[in-house]
Amino acid sequence: MPGTVANSNVKSTANCTNAFCSVMIRNPAFYESDLEGAIISHITEFLLELGKGFSFVARQKRIMLEDDEFFIDLVLYNRLLRCFVIIEIKTGKITH
């Protein structure tokens, strides 16, 4: 499902299965926080682009796994699928 980020010359590609979706943005000039801020400032358009049933839940949601603390960039919920969608924004190489 190729697409473009609104108001920019950045190209993105998405690869989704039933459980996971990964999106790669090919522009190292973005900082992760800037990209997250752009999504939040256009959250209505972003949710509509994803499809039916999505709603915004949280930004920078803190979770604990064993003794490690993590922050999830964006948390969405899909009421049709009855599941949470976790978005972790990375502009560099993915290491996990």
Report pLDDT digits (tens) over 19-76.
555 555 556 667 888 888 888 888 888 888 888 999 999 999 998 989 999 888 889 9
What's the CA gap between 11 and 13, in Å, rounded?
7
Q: Determine what percent of the chain falls in helix, strand and coil, rounding each to the nearest 5.
A: 20, 45, 40
CB 24 within 8 A of CB 39: no
Which domain, by its residues, includes 48?
A: 3-87
CB 55 within 8 A of CB 80: no
Predicted structure pTM score:
0.65
Query: Is 35 a domain residue?
Result: yes
Query: Is 64 a domain residue?
Result: yes
Q: What is the mean pLDDT of residues 80-89?
A: 87
Query: Is 93 a domain residue?
Result: no
Question: For residue 2, what pLDDT band results from cuts at 50, 70 and 90?
Answer: very low
Number of structural domains found in the chain: 1
Query: Is 92 a domain residue?
Result: no
Question: Which residues are CB-neighbours of 31 under 8 A, at least 6 positions away?
Answer: 91
What is the model's pLDDT at position 55?
A: 92
Name the β-bridge partners of 63. Answer: 70
